[in-house]
Structure 1
Amino acid sequence: MNDNALRTIEAQIREQICAYCESNNVPGFVVGVYHAREQVIVAHGTANVATGAPMLEDTGFLFGSVTKVLTTTLVLQQVERGLLNLDTPVVKYLPEFTLAEPGAAEKILVRHLISHTNGIDADLFFPDGKGRDALKIYVERLAGSCGALFEPGEQLSYSNGGMIVAGRLLEVVTGTPFPDLLERNVFAPVGMTTSSTSAERAILRSTAVGHFPDPETMAAKPTDMFMLPDTWGPAGGTPIGTVSDLLAFGRTHLTGGVSPSGTRVLSAESTSLMQQVSHDMATPNVPPMGLGWVRYPFGDTTVLAMSGASPGGVSILCVVPEHDLVFTAYGNTGSAIMLHDQILQRLLREHLAVQIPTLIDEFEPDVDLAPYVGTYRSNQLRIDVTVVDGQLEERMSYEPADESQRQIFTAFAGGMTSAPPQRYVPIRPGLFAPAGYPLDAFDGYLRLLLVSYHDVRRGRARFRNGGGRLTRRV
């Protein structure tokens, strides 16, 4: 792709962003594309409707779960230095790590923490805590609050808890607080000069805030909570930076661990290991997992990706090694994830000439729905599945463990504690699509909207997987 082609991309993306944001009440959006030694950044709209501050090319935003790839990079650095071994039990380094289910923590290896195969049932566990002891507090409170969803390595379930435990593990073996380690070992060598982990530093420069739709007018309202507690730092609660910073990090993973400035951040072997398949659920709605990276197959092309929700905002980072491309973006409402998907597919189809096959060809109407009916639970989340008019109907609700958890979750979710009932139609046994969506909606990133059921025993599924997250039948 030459420079003229990149400028064409810039113009097309700018037009696409303007149209989407206007029709979907997205106040602001910023996107960056790097390809073949050239990059463009496009910003649009407003960073904060309360102040009217514009979204600029260098406006900062919360990375959200994109942080998980940064945390994984830190873990692999310590493996290279001999302080960690991926196949050693976590408790060897972190003896205080326990779960509510006796013996469960002892089976979890370091590898399981960063491959989302650990089974820690803590996806919505929000203990409050600030400062240098935040991750220590998190691990201490896991013991009496969270059990295990499955045996380590048995299943794949997107794991905030695993990444936070990995963050505490890093603190113990390095003797350095996680925020300091992130700044010293990733931000500095990569050249992420505008990144930080504190609201106090972010306020000194242009920083976007998230927004939620007003229930009555649907106009965007600023979030009441800027970031999650410090206890969620390694999973994505606190890191803040810019599109330029994430492009630099993505480029580091394009070039075998060497940053744009030429600094070695990670070995070529570790960088490659992160990109290799570590677990595959063999279902279209759960792409194969590497270490830190999710491996999205688009035909013969693999997109390494991670998206990140923050209170009222959503980010994404995609790296396409086969085509020397990095794409990253942030929108300050949750619905911006649709625009992320549209831009990614445009880049793949129109500018890289990637053939994206249809993921789902047709629906299968005569699927026995009985094995999937029941109640499924994970930490503070309940999903009731019934059959209505020949379709599955799911009712999802959040059941807080205490008042502190309720306050944090409801602020993170914009005041919602339950979702409207959702109908699903069968694609094949064990795989369902939300009713009303065209089949081609699932060809891209939004394949995560599909729901699958797993491990059917005696006519009853044991697990439900939605958005990469498992719940277990109760």
Structure 2
Amino acid sequence: MVRMTNNALSTVEAQIRERAAAYCESNNIPGFVAGVYHAGEQVVVAHGAANAATGAPMLEDTGFLFGSVTKVLTTTLVLQQVERGVLDLDAPAVRYLPELTLTAPGAADKILVRHLVSHTNGIDADLFFPDAKGRDALKTYVKGLAGSCGALFEPGEQLSYSNGGMIVAGRLLEAVTGLPFPELLKREVYTPVGMTDSGTSAEEAILRSTAVGHFLDPQTMAARPTSMFMLPDTWGPAGGTPIGTVADLLAFGRTHLAGGVSPSGTRVLSPESTALMQQVAFDMATPNTPPIGLGWVLYPFGDTTVLAMSGASPGGVSILCVLPEHDLVFTAFGNNPGAIMLQDQILRWLLSEHLGVQLPALITELEEDVDLTPYVGTYRSNQLRVDVSVVDGQLEERVTYEPADASQERIFTRFAGGRVCAPPQRLVPIRPGLFAPAGYPLEAFDGYLRLLLVSYHDVRAGQARFRNGGGRLTRRV
């Protein structure tokens, strides 16, 4: 790590340290680690404990699960194969993976390779957790889609955050390279980028300082370690298994800042592919779902675009943000899901105070007298049901998890820390089709937490076809 001499970065270090200590203390978050690279220098700050059960400290080089930040790594692997002429973004995925099938006849045949990494594939598998390990884990996942998962929409028609699409992309990479995904990731990303402390297994992680996730005990509100360190190997390309450090993710972010050249000078991706990942591939034109590139989510903060991806792991949350216009990378991990609020605070402080970016209010007022009837009904996606009704003049949503089998229930329940159904949520209208959870100040949605807004789309015959929560679609039934 480069130690700072820059006064501005000294202020960044002090701010992160102060904010982490205060937030973790008041919200029972055991540990937090964050890093910022800016204009040639970087700093890493660690606070608290990596494991509340053992008391192991969170260190600057403590490893953690990347979660869905992995999706940008998986997309980088796909673009490498496109550059080499092995893959064509506009070819059907079944050209390379003939066994790809969904329960909806013919639906898989329409999915292009680019749909897999732009979250526009429509695969209805967001909570599909087949339990398998080893070399054939991704093959098992794809095989399981045929009997368990359908399609939410026609490929390219909508945008819905897609774990399934990234996992299929990982299996497609295995098919065309002949290498297992973990080996390909190490050879083509970890090594050339210089991610020297990254791996994909608990067996590797146990040999060094590694954080574990925590959940708050509902009775005592004390942090307790997760009972499941990572998701099954079947979820590797979507973020289930990759592990590394803040320094590793800073190096990866810097590679994308530098047009595909790693900090050591190794060419990882071409300038054209790096730029393509940052271009808008689909825009839902709604504040709660920013435009998507290939792999990256493109968050608008005023006139500045933040390339971002956050990642949930059992009891933990990570984030990676790249700001090409300002030569800055920010990454962080907290070992309790509530740390996402701290990450949002730090990101907004970096933008407004460190970089001087003007952050306009995303939502300025609420609209009264919005007709709520088009949104009432039941919406479904894989193992999830959302019942929407009108109560006391407001929309009320009830989200219910409906496990497909005991194995999937066990995995998801442990991933979620035991809570699988949220309490009813009241929504207040911002405008037709866009709602905010009741009780939040409007400024809360100016940053990363705009994902808490809920939108409804494609109103036909007086009824919305889709509900969008957290960037994920459910379809009216």
**Shorter-chain-normalised TM-score: which range?**
over 0.9
Match of 1:199 among 177, 202, 213: 202
Deviation at 1:215, TM superposition (A): 1.3
Which one-letter code corresponds to 1:55 in the other structure? M
Does the residue aligned with 1:248 lie in a helix, a strand or coil?
helix
Deviation at 1:89, TM superposition (A): 0.1
2:162 counterpart residue number: 159
2:86 counterpart residue number: 83
1:455 counterpart residue number: 458
Does the residue aligned with 1:45 lie in a helix, a strand or coil?
strand
Matches within 5 A, 1:178-197: 178-197=181-200
Deviation at 1:207, TM superposition (A): 0.2
2:33 counterpart residue number: 30
In the alignment, is residue 432 of structure 1 matched against residue 402 of structure 2? no
Which one-letter code corresponds to 2:265 in the other structure? G
Match of 1:226 among 226, 229, 244: 229
Which one-letter code corresponds to 2:299 in the other structure? Y
Match of 1:246 among 245, 249, 252: 249
Which one-letter code corresponds to 1:416 in the other structure? R
Deviation at 1:11, TM superposition (A): 0.7
1:326 counterpart residue number: 329
Deviation at 1:2, TM superposition (A): 7.6
1:284 counterpart residue number: 287
Deviation at 1:28, TM superposition (A): 0.2
Does the residue aligned with 2:474 lie in a helix, a strand or coil?
strand
1:411 counterpart residue number: 414
Alignment partners' CA distance in 1, 2:258 and 2:114: 23
Deviation at 1:220, TM superposition (A): 0.5
Provide runs of 4+ in structure 1 moved above 6 Å: none
Which one-letter code corresponds to 1:18 in the other structure? A
Deviations for 1:353-392, whole angstroms, at most 9, x for unmatched residues?
0001000010001100000001100000111111111111
1:255 counterpart residue number: 258
Which one-letter code corresponds to 1:152 in the other structure? P
Matches within 5 A, 1:358-437: 358-437=361-440
Match of 1:40 among 35, 39, 43: 43
Match of 2:120 among 117, 120, 125: 117
1:132 counterpart residue number: 135
2:7 counterpart residue number: 4
Alignment partners' CA distance in 2, 1:416 and 1:15: 31
1:270 counterpart residue number: 273
Alignment partners' CA distance in 2, 1:268 and 1:242: 25
1:444 counterpart residue number: 447
Match of 1:215 among 215, 218, 222: 218
In the alignment, is residue 351 of structure 1 matched against residue 348 of structure 2? no
Does the residue aligned with 2:429 lie in a helix, a strand or coil?
strand
Match of 1:175 among 178, 183, 192: 178
Does the residue aligned with 1:132 lie in a helix, a strand or coil?
coil
Alignment partners' CA distance in 2, 1:399 and 1:12: 43
Does the residue aligned with 1:272 lie in a helix, a strand or coil?
helix
Does the residue aligned with 1:34 lie in a helix, a strand or coil?
strand
Alignment partners' CA distance in 2, 1:419 and 1:12: 34
Deviation at 1:105, TM superposition (A): 0.1
Which one-letter code corresponds to 1:75 in the other structure? V
Matches within 5 A, 1:294-309: 294-309=297-312
Which one-letter code corresponds to 2:303 in the other structure? D
Deviation at 1:421, TM superposition (A): 0.6
Change (3 A) 1:96 1:360: same
Alignment partners' CA distance in 2, 1:269 and 1:231: 31
In the alignment, is residue 73 of structure 1 matched against residue 76 of structure 2? yes
Alignment partners' CA distance in 2, 1:22 and 1:417: 26
Deviations for 1:7-48, whole angstroms, at most 9, x for unmatched residues?
111011100110000001100000000000000000000000
Deviations for 1:162-187, whole angstroms, at most 9, x for unmatched residues?
00000000000000000000000000
Does the residue aligned with 2:72 lie in a helix, a strand or coil?
helix
Structure 2 residue runs without a partner (length 5+): none
2:63 counterpart residue number: 60
Alignment partners' CA distance in 2, 1:417 and 1:253: 36
Q: RMSD value over aligned CA atoms? A: 0.7
Alignment partners' CA distance in 1, 2:359 and 2:147: 46
Deviations for 1:314-359, whole angstroms, at most 9, x for unmatched residues?
0000000000000000000000000000000000000100001000
Deviation at 1:417, TM superposition (A): 1.8
Alignment partners' CA distance in 2, 1:351 and 1:7: 11
Which one-letter code corresponds to 2:165 in the other structure? G
* Of 269-278 and 8-17, the range deviating more from structure 2: 8-17
1:104 counterpart residue number: 107
Alignment partners' CA distance in 1, 2:289 and 2:218: 32
Structure 1 residue runs without a partner (length 5+): none
Deviations for 1:48-70, whole angstroms, at most 9, x for unmatched residues?
00100000000000000000000
Deviations for 1:101-152, whole angstroms, at most 9, x for unmatched residues?
0000000000000000000000000000000000000000000000000000
Q: In the comparison of the two structures, how many residue pairs are matched?
A: 474
Deviations for 1:284-317, whole angstroms, at most 9, x for unmatched residues?
0000000000000000000000000000000000
Does the residue aligned with 2:396 lie in a helix, a strand or coil?
strand
Which one-letter code corresponds to 1:114 in the other structure? V
Alignment partners' CA distance in 1, 2:53 and 2:260: 40
Does the residue aligned with 2:319 lie in a helix, a strand or coil?
strand
TM-score by length of 1: 1.00
Alignment partners' CA distance in 2, 1:302 and 1:2: 28
Alignment partners' CA distance in 1, 2:305 and 2:59: 30
